[in-house]
Amino acid sequence: MIDGFISIVAALVASRLNLLVKEFMFPSHVSSEQGFGYAASTLGVEAPLKLNMRLGEGSGCPIMFAIIDAACAIIRDMGTFEEANIGEEYLKKMHGGDVFFRKNQ
């Protein structure tokens, strides 16, 4: 997990030593530290969280791990339309109008 300025510089150095390591890097948040943007751009990554932090204790890391865990759970556990018995007729209704806010309600 890339979390802050020091870790993105370390990630940049690691990627220069072996290009494949970038495939295992996940940026967490945009650091307010000078140089973070340059290092991120050079590394070719964009941190998804913009929390205006510059504390240096890895605050963005547990937040990003929770997001990754949630994404993995969705990929692993989300049902298909077939499993949920959502048929073509229901999908046609959804595409034809707003099924959540009807005018009569």
For the entire predicted model, the pTM comes to 0.68
CB half-sphere exposure, 61, CA atoms < 13 A: 13
- Distance CA(69)–CA(92), nearest Å, equals 33
Degrees, nearest 5: CA angle 19-17-13: 100
Count Cα neighbours of 60 within 13 Å in the Cβ-side half-sphere.
24
- Which position among 23, 46, 57, 89 bears the catalytic label? 57
Share of the chain above pLDDT 90, in %: 52
The DSSP symbol for 22 reads: G
CA–CA separation, 37 vs 74, rounded Å?
31
Instruction: Print burial letters for 17-31: b (CB count within 10 Å at least 16), e (below 16).
Output: eeeeeeeebbbbbbb
pLDDT at res. 85: 82
55-105 confidence digits (pLDDT tens): 666 788 899 999 999 999 999 999 888 888 888 887 777 777 655 655 554
Number of H helices, E strands in the chain: 4, 2
Q: Is 51 helix (H, G, I), strand (E, B) or coil?
A: strand
33 is catalytic: no
